[in-house]
């Protein structure tokens, strides 16, 4: 089906595109369809990284092993200029964690500390639960209602294909701990910012701000949060014992891994494509973001296999994204003033791409339209021409660098995101290939023509 | 849809049934449809038990709290002769547990001890993995290949609607630890006997037999087992550190909770309906088997509400099923020689019933057929007339007591079974009501006519 559409569309698209100074759309369509059919580079990378390294929390020795693995892998794949740009960062690590309702209905609950959580100490803390259905409700409460208690926020996230609610739904995680601390709370537990119903809490970063003292801050799994609501409905005081033994281990090194497909004209600005190499510590970081680094590198490799692009393609596997975009900010500090032809990042799982947005500027409108044409045959709709986003590349896009977003279907992303369940089995190889096909097509258009390697003549 | 079918079928069924000495099928159909529409008894029980007691491992104080809760609940619902029949049993409890690959790719895995597992002690054990794809392959291996190592069995279970594979797929759990122990293994970890892909291992009982010394025995979650296979495929020796601090805490008390709807003729043998009250310790035992006790009691309560049945309905919530059918065997020892009109148990979740089997004997063939007729309108097919099963009631059925099986759709049962994920949110209230409707219809037929309470005449 996709194949038939592709063929039909290429015929239709051939003449208008040919009038631009753009790469041959038939050739780009061929690269795209070959990736859709048989890409194995992306699977090979994400399978290898999640198996041979596994979890790789930013700034830890596991992330350092991931960088070693990455350098070896990208070198073996034939990329040029493979290097690590190191940077320092503060590191927080998880320890023992448990939660237990002491009264009125004794039972264990499943909890995970949020990033930068304070520690309860190994003995834990015990306190009465005070419940709110949003951060705003917590904010509106008098300090006296919160002081010395364990705040519980029951804010439910719903699944959407574009993940639009993450900013809004994430407020209890990002702001809740600070607000609770400033009101004198003993600790805070939130309903996980997630859309599943498994006993796997969703961790994620938060930062105590405005001078708030760190307090223990955790996420209950969604079934546990719903259980808490049912228990609270009985109207009796609810007491919880909470153990979250996490700690700040000081400044450690992280780094960005960079590799290139050198362009024929090294004076032209590079195309920057990437994802992030670090992951949360409980899963193996398959959808977040093993898939992303795999997709970006696989597409670049496919262009490399096809020949030599006019422009350099720079692959970047950012370090320390999860805990505060440290890798993206370091790259920006080093290279953000240099011209870039486009920035693209994959960091929303491995499900199919359904939309392309771009922010290449009015002068490059025909190039942006060409992207839409070469992506349409694999089910991708053209969205906006004035917009692009990305996690690590976000600050540079905000600075005005040009960018492209290949938007993935995120309907099931927040079922898995930041949980122990982020493992390889959650990746659908066929959808992963569609991602690589889209990225290959985009790189085919942006690369400014690919010069095929000279082959010996047939005799 | 179900409603229209019900009406049509009742009209069709009315005359043949009327020729038997059986309860009025129109009345039974009405009770069935009322349950399908608006039963709240079952939800109320399973919601209350899973919330107010939560996990209730056999022989522990949690199961004792469950019995207290049950006695209070069944009494409040108006049942007669509510009582506990206590019995003693050996009790095993879980402690700290963790697993970690030490080499070649250091990373944590998620493990749960199997019932009656030996303990590694708090310091844990470290050993090389030796992998087998079945218990038979382990059996066939020379002892020298196993001695001093950690056995891993990678036997994959597939989902079926009738759960037919549990016996076969469960072999690594039931027999693996004994076989591994007898060959001198240090410990054993198996791929969970489950059909999901979450980081929640499936526990379950096993017993060291043939004089085998207990060794640590755990289940890896399915994603972890698949990760282990990928790691093993790299061909390097794999070393695991395993901590399973479980212990036998000696003899403790459990018990069966019994309640009755007294029949008009107390000389007639009772109909025994039930499920099991105990659960594994990590979930709240919603589908295994809060739903079962709820369905059985709700149906009995609906008959009680409708009037007084000719025969006594005896509701039993068995204790200590999970760890060895202790409750069923205790009931059998006390009452197994007494006549029973039929035994029925619900212990396969809360998804829809799709089949009725019975073993009532040739003399009661018309009654068995009447069951099929009153169940067909809610989508239930008549199966066999010579077969019935059940967990706690299994030994008594084998002894020759008559029984009925209302077979539930088990397609997703083994996604959740024996995991922390067995929580209330997994129960679909509409399917739960269909279960109650079916059970109510069956009790309507078996009860031998229901005498409605006399109501004051209208003025």
Which structure tokens are listed for A432?
């992963």
In Å, how far from its chain's centre is CA B446?
23
pLDDT at A426: 98
pLDDT of residue B449: 86
For chain A, how many residues are written?
Answer: 459
Distances (CA, A) of B77 to A152, A159, B70, B259, B275: 34, 40, 10, 10, 17
Query: Is residue A239 scored above 70 in pLDDT?
Result: yes
pLDDT band at B16 (very low <50, low <70, confident <90, very high): very low
H helices of A133-262, where? 135-140, 143-146, 166-169, 171-174, 176-182, 222-233
Does the structure show a pLDDT above 90 at A22?
no
Q: Which residue has the tokens 């700034």?
A: A59
Which residues of chain B have a CB within 8 Å of the CB of A290? none
Q: How confident is the model at residue A23 (pLDDT cuts 50, 70, 90)?
A: confident
Contact A421 B199 (CB under 8 A): yes
Given this model, what pLDDT does residue A288 score?
98
Q: Find residue A92's DSSP bridge partners.
A: A248
The answer to which of A71-75, A245-249, A388-392, B450-454 has the lowest mean pLDDT is B450-454
At residue A457, the pLDDT reads 61
Contacts of B52 in chain A (CB under 8 A): 104-105, 234
| Confidence at residue B193, expressed as pLDDT on a 0 to 100 scale | 96
Identify the pLDDT of residue A459.
Answer: 52
Whether A199 and B230 lie within 8 Å, measured CB to CB: no
Phi and psi, residue B213, nearest 5°: -70, 135
pLDDT digits (tens, 9 = 90+) for A303-345: 999 999 999 999 999 999 999 999 999 999 999 999 999 999 9
Give residue A1's pLDDT band: very low, low, confident or very high (50, 70, 90): very low
Contacts of A284 in chain B (CB under 8 A): 107, 227
Query: How far apart, in whole angstroms, are the C-alpha atoms of residue A132 and residue B350?
Result: 32
Euclidean distance between CA atoms A365 and A376, whole angstroms: 17
> Could you tell me the pLDDT band of residue A451, with boundaries at 50, 70 and 90?
confident
Which fold would CATH assign to domain B96-245? Glucose Oxidase; domain 1 (3.50.30)
DSSP B378: G
| B283 in A contact zone (CB under 8 Å) | yes
- Select from B47, B52, B223 the Cβ nearest to the Cβ of A105: B52
Rg (CA), chain A: 24
Position A455 scores a pLDDT of 66
Average pLDDT over residues A32-39: 98
> Are A424 and B231 inside 8 Å of each other by CB?
no
Decide: B95 and B240 in contact? Cβ < 8 Å.
no
A387-to-A127, A273, A362, A376 alpha-carbon distances in Å: 47, 17, 12, 19
Contact B106 A54 (CB under 8 A): yes
Residue B226 designated active-site: no
| A6 pLDDT more than 50 | no
Chain B contact for A226 (CB, 8 A cutoff) = yes
CB contact under 8 A, A230 and B55: no
Give A-chain residues touching B199 at CB under 8 angstroms.
200, 282-283, 419-421, 423
Domain positions in chain B: 2-92+250-451, 96-245
Interface test with B, best of A63, A421, A424 (most B CBs within 10 A): A421
Model pLDDT for residues B131-150, shown as the tens digit of each residue: 999 999 999 999 999 999 99
Chain B contact present for A421, CB below 8 A = yes
Phi first, then psi, for residue A336 (nearest 5°) are -65, -20
Which residues in chain B touch residue A108, judged by CB atoms under 8 angstroms apart? Answer: 55
Does A223 sit within 8 Å of B421, measured CB to CB? Answer: yes
Percent of chain A scoring above 90 in pLDDT: 88
pLDDT tens-digit readout, B59-75: 999 999 999 999 999 99
Q: Mean pLDDT in chain B?
A: 94
pLDDT, tens digit, 9 for 90 and up, residues B224-262: 999 999 999 999 999 999 999 999 999 999 999 999 999
The distance of A420 to chain B (nearest Cα, Å) reads 6
Q: Report the C-alpha gap between A218 and A431 in whole angstroms.
A: 33
A415 and chain B: CB distance < 8 Å anywhere?
A: no
**Interface contact B425-A51, CB threshold 8 A:** no
Q: Which helix (H) or strand (E) is B233 found in, with range?
A: helix B222-233
For the beta sheet containing A150-153, the strands, ordered from the edge strand earlier in sequence to the opposite edge, are A107-109, A97-103, A239-244, A125-132, A150-153, A187-191, A217-220, A111-113
Q: Is the pLDDT of residue A12 over 80?
A: no
| C-alpha span between B87 and B255 (Å, rounded) | 5
Q: Which residue has the higher pLDDT, A12 or B443?
A: B443
Query: Which positions in chain B touch A200 (Cβ < 8 Å)?
Result: 198-200
Strands B107-109 and B97-103 turn out to be antiparallel
B236 at the A interface (CB within 8 A)? no
Res. B100: pLDDT tops 90? yes
Percent of chain B with pLDDT over 90: 88
A95-141, pLDDT tens digit by residue? 999 999 999 999 999 999 999 999 999 999 999 999 999 999 999 99
B14: CB partners within 8 A, 6+ apart: B25, B26
User: What are B277-298's pLDDT values in tens digits?
Assistant: 999 999 999 999 999 999 999 9
Instruction: Please check whether the domain covering A2-91+250-450 is classified as CATH 3.10.110.10.
Output: no
- Range in A9-23, A302-316, A422-436, B22-36 with the lowest mean pLDDT: A9-23
The contacts of residue B154 (CB under 8 Å, 6+ apart) are B131, B132, B133, B190, B191, B225, B228, B229
Q: What pLDDT, on a 0 to 100 scale, did the predictor assign at position B374?
A: 97
Chain B window 43-82: which residues touch A at a Cβ cutoff of 8 Å? Answer: 47, 50-55, 62
B201 contact A CB<8A: no
Alpha-carbon distance of B238 to B130, in angstroms, equals: 8
Strand pairing of A97-103 and B217-220? unpaired
- Å from A195 to nearest chain B CA? 13
The confidence score (pLDDT) of residue B22 equals 60
**pLDDT tens digits for range A351-386:** 999 999 999 999 999 999 999 999 999 999 999 999
Beta partners for residue B273, in sequence order:
B315, B344
pLDDT band, residue B199 (cuts 50/70/90): very high
Residue B404's φ and ψ, nearest 5 degrees, are: -135, 145
Q: Residues of B with CB below 8 A from A283's CB?
A: 199
Query: Percent of chain B, pLDDT > 70?
Result: 94
Residues of A forming the active site? 321
Please report the ipTM that was assigned to this predicted complex: 0.92
Among B54, B63, B225, the strongest candidate for a mutation testing the A interface, having the largest count of A CBs within 10 A, is B54
- Is the per-residue pLDDT at A9 higher than 70? no
> Does residue B426 sit at the A interface (CB-CB below 8 Å)?
yes
Angstrom distance (rounded) from CA A361 to CA A282? 41
pLDDT at B10 over 80: no
Q: Give CATH for domain B2-92+250-451.
A: 3.40.630.10
Whether the predicted pLDDT of A65 surpasses 60 = yes
Query: What pLDDT is stored for residue B456 in this prediction?
Result: 63
Q: In this structure, what token pair is assigned to residue A458?
A: 């047939």
Contact by Cβ (8 Å): A437, A35: yes
Counting one residue from chain A and one from chain B, the pairs whose CB atoms sit within 8 A come to 98
- Out of B63, B260, B321, B322, the active site residue is B321
- Identify which of A342, A356, A325, A281 has the alpha carbon closest to the alpha carbon of residue A55: A281
Residue B447 has pLDDT above 90, yes or no: yes
Nearest CA in chain A to B56: A107
- B459 pLDDT more than 80: no
Find which of A106, A198, A290 to mutate to test the B interface (most B CBs within 10 Å of its CB): A198
Look up the CATH architecture of domain A95-245. 3-Layer(bba) Sandwich (3.50)
CA–CA separation, B441 and B418 (whole Å): 30
Q: Is the pLDDT assigned to residue B39 strictly greater than 80?
A: yes
């Amino acid at each position: 089906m996709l194949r038939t559409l592709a063929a039909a569309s290429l015929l239709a698209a051939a003449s208008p595109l040919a009038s631009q100074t753009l790469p041959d759309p038939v050739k780009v369509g061929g690269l795209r369809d070959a990736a859709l059919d048989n890409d194995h580079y992306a699977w090979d990378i994400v399978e290898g990284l999640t198996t041979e390294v596994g979890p790789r929390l930013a700034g830890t020795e596991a992330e350092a092993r991931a960088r070693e693995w990455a350098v070896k892998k990208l070198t073996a794949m034939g990329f040029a200029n493979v290097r690590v740009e190191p940077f320092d960062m503060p590191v927080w690590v998880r320890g023992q964690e448990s939660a237990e309702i002491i009264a009125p209905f004794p039972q264990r609950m499943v909890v995970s500390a949020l990033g930068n959580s304070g520690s309860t100490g190994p003995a834990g803390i015990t306190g009465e639960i005070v419940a709110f259905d949003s951060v705003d409700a917590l904010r509106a409460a008098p300090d006296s209602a919160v002081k010395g208690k364990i705040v519980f926020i029951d804010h439910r996230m719903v699944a959407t294909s574009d993940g639009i609610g993450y900013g809004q739904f994430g407020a209890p995680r990002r702001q809740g701990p600070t607000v609770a601390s400033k009101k004198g709370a003993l600790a805070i537990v939130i309903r996980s910012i997630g859309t599943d119903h498994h006993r796997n809490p969703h961790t994620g970063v938060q930062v105590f701000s405005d001078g708030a003292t760190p307090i223990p801050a955790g996420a209950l799994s969604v079934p546990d949060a719903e259980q808490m609501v049912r228990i609270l409905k009985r109207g009796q005081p609810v007491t919880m014992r909470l153990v979250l033994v996490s700690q700040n281990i000081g400044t450690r090194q992280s780094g960005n891994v960079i590799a290139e497909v050198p362009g024929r004209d090294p004076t032209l600005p590079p195309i920057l494509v990437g994802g992030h190499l670090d992951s949360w510590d409980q899963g193996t970081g398959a959808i977040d973001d093993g898939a992303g680094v795999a997709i970006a590198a696989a597409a670049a490799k496919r262009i490399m296999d096809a020949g030599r692009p006019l422009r350099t393609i720079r692959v970047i596997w950012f370090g320390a994204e999860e805990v505060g975009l440290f890798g993206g900010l370091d790259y920006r500090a080093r290279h953000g003033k240099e011209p870039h032809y486009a920035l693209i990042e994959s960091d929303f799982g491995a499900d199919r791409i359904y939309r392309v947005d771009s922010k290449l500027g009015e002068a490059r409108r025909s190039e942006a339209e060409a992207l839409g044409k070469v992506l349409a045959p694999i089910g991708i709709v053209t969205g906006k021409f004035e917009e692009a986003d990305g996690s690590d590349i976000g600050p540079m896009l905000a600075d005005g660098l040009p960018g492209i977003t290949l938007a993935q279907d995120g309907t099931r992303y927040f079922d898995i995101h930041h949980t122990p369940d982020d493992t390889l089995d959650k990746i659908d190889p066929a959808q992963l290939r569609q991602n690589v096909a889209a990225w290959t097509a985009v790189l085919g258009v942006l690369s400014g023509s690919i010069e095929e390697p000279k082959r010996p003549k047939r005799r």
